[in-house]
Every structure is written in structure tokens, then in C-alpha cells.
Amino acid sequence: MSAIPDFHAVIPAGGAGTRLWPLSRAGHPKFLLDLTGTGRTLLQGTVDRLQPLAAGILVVTGTRHADAVAAQLPELGARQVLAEPSPRDSMAAIGLAAAVLLERHGEDVVLGSFAADHVISGTEAFERTVREGVVAAQAGYVVTIGIRATEPSTAFGYVRSGRSLGLDEAPSAQHVEGFTEKPDALTAAGYLATGEYRWNAGMFLVRARVLLDHLAAQLPALAAGLVEIAAAWDGPDKQAVLDRVWPGLTKIAIDHAIAEPVAAAGGVAVVPGDFTWDDVGDFASLAGLLAGGTLGDASAVQRIDADGSLVVTGDGRTVTVIGLPGAVVVDTPGAILVTTREHAQAVKRGVDGWRAQGRDDLL
């Protein structure tokens, strides 16, 4: 496998992963955790997957986690970790990376953005998809990766594909007809029946210059601010410029800032991704990823009439689950969570409850 010339991977590493609380917390968010029991964190796994393909990798994260990110990725070097002074949503994060890449590597850079906290398996299919995506990006498109929908999930947005782009080097790339927000179950089932819809996993590729040009057209102040910061990033004025410009940047998701308006104008393509993808969005999802249902020390877990239960062990304590198929038990130093896979989406309510009680130490 050889690196793709001019292709730089950008990994936005943010988000606490509230639905994985108390495993994932503000102080040690989901992307810094080894959730698959492989010995590599989700962030490390993301870098492992991209490093053979990319000419370079940038991680964009908050100042709070920059040291932890750099420590987990000694092979990258601290210069490849961009620390945001405060969270300004995904457009600022990825736009900053695009502008820095243009400064450092010039006009031909294609960036590919991949979340730091997803799990992907199927290396060859992933590589094929990325290579086609780069080709389509070089042709000027904003390219999203459309994941084959294996069920009518209501947890993801969908992307609808249209006619082929007609690119020899990217034969499966198609025009995007549009994006949808998370649908209800009936609508999702309808999507699957058509065969035209895929999950929008938030992975996309685009020439850095194309991205910034779109941004300049849609949100010129934001684009100008990012360009100004990027110009100062590797120099002595970085902190002063950041202090002055960053707090005023528009907070907006890249989907709303770029993907949706540009799709409406015909500038977005989709490359189908037929690898296995999981956003590990909640404990039900995590349970599905773990063969034995245990994250941690399997010898410390005893299940009696508790098929399909997920147990996360901690601190050497044993966990005994009796009569609760599908239970979720998460043991962490300060907090134990007990729920079910069915209630995986309700974990956020527990976090909200502790916050309302002022127990920020638990969050």
C-alpha cells in the first residue's frame, strides 16, 4: 500500500461521547479510549488506518486534550496536532486544518476528514474508497463517503446518490442528490428499499482550496478568519492572532455550512464505502462490537441468565449479572452505570441528572 500523493488526513478529535458515560467523560473522552480491547484507542486506530494512505495527518482537538492526543500519537509529532482554544464546531475545526494544509503544502492538497472515534474494519475496501474519493476530490467535488446501510437506522443521516460522475479512476463515484437528517423508522425503511440511500458517516474528501473557496462564498468572515489564523499558525504571532480572531468565528457544523448548500448546487459527490463502519455511538453499539460482551477483564465477569449483556470492568472488581439479558453494566472508579442495551440512548439523561445536581466531578 502506498501513500496517495497530496492526500492529507484530518482527524477532528472532539466530543465527549456522552452516551458512553461513565466510560467516556469530559476528562477522558471516547476517542482517547480503547473501546475494542485491541490495545489501541479509537484515535490511534484511526491514525493506524490512515497513515499508510496519507502523505500527512493532522489532528484537530481542544487545548484540554492536545497533550493527551500528542502522547498517544508519538509518531505524528506535536506540530501535527492543532489545538483549538475553544470549541467552534466542525466547520472551524476542519476549515482551520484546510487553511493550515494550504500554508504548509500548497494548492494541490486534498484533505480527507475522518472522525477520531469511529471503528472501521475492512482495510482494503476502505483504501479503495479513499483512493476513489481523492480522485473525485481532485476533479473538484466535495466527496462524502456513503456507508452501505445494513439496517433502517434512525441514528444516522442519509445521503442520496444520483448518476455517475463518469470518472475513469473513480468508477463508483456518483453525484449526490441530497442529504437527509436522521429519519424516523418508517422513512428509514423506505430509504433502504430504494437502494439509493446510504448512511452519511461524516467522512468526506475535498481539495483544501475548493473547501475554502466554498466557505468564502458561504461564510466569508469565517473563511477570512481561518485563513488569517493559518497564516500565523507556524510563526511567532500564532497566539496573539488566535486570541484575537478565534473567539469570533461562526459556530456551525460543516454539513450545514458546506455540504448541504453545495449539494444543492451539484458540487457534492458520494463514493460508496462497503467496509464495516460503526460510530460506537452508545452502549448498544459497543456491545455489538465486543465478541464476548466484556470490555476489560473477562475473567472478572460472571453472567447467569444474562445473554447479550455488556460489562465494562474496572479496577479489578468482579461483576456478576443474574437474570438480566441485554443488561449494560459499566464500572468506573467514581461511577457505576446499570442499564440495558434498549435504553442505550437514555444514558444522556443520567449525565444530565448528575449535572443538575452539580456533580461535575462525575461528568
Nearest to 301 by CA among 284, 282, 287, 314: 314
Closest CB to its own copies among residues 251, 348:
348
CA of 194: how far to CAs of 90, 160, 190, 238, in Å? 31, 10, 7, 50
Closest CB to its own copies among residues 182, 317:
317
Residue with cell 449526490: 176
With contact defined as beta carbons under 8 Å apart, do 259 and 144 qualify? Answer: yes
- Looking at this protein, which amino acid is placed at residue 307? D
Cell of 240: 496573539
Closest CB to its own copies among residues 231, 336:
336
Distance CA 96, CA 60 (A): 9
CB of 19 to its own copies, least distance (A): 11
For 311, list phi and psi in degrees, rounded to 5.
Answer: -125, 125
Closest CB to its own copies among residues 152, 314:
314
CB of 354 to its own copies, least distance (A): 7
CB of 317 to its own copies, least distance (A): 6
Closest CB to its own copies among residues 56, 296:
296
CB of 74 to its own copies, least distance (A): 34
CB of 128 to its own copies, least distance (A): 41
Distance CA 80, CA 49 (A): 17
CA of 358: how far to CAs of 22, 313, 353, 354, in Å? 16, 26, 9, 6
Closest CB to its own copies among residues 264, 346:
346
Closest CB to its own copies among residues 79, 317:
317
Distance CA 266, CA 10 (A): 24
Three-state DSSP class for 40? coil
The helix (run of H) or strand (run of E) holding residue 301 is strand 301-304
Cell of 177: 442528490
162: exposed, middle or buried (C-beta count within 10 Å: 0-12, 13-18, 19+)? Answer: middle
205: exposed, middle or buried (C-beta count within 10 Å: 0-12, 13-18, 19+)? Answer: buried
Closest CB to its own copies among residues 61, 339:
339
CB of 108 to its own copies, least distance (A): 51
Q: Using only C-alpha atoms, what is the Rg of the chain? A: 21
CB of 347 to its own copies, least distance (A): 6
| 178 torsion bin: left (phi>0), alpha (psi -120 to 50), beta (else) | left
With contact defined as beta carbons under 8 Å apart, do 297 and 316 qualify? Answer: yes
Total residues belonging to the chain: 363
CB of 346 to its own copies, least distance (A): 5
CB of 69 to its own copies, least distance (A): 28
Question: Which residues are near its own copies by CB under 8 A?
Answer: 22, 302, 304-305, 316-324, 327, 329, 331, 333-340, 342-343, 346-347, 349-350, 353-354, 357, 359, 362
Closest CB to its own copies among residues 5, 316:
316
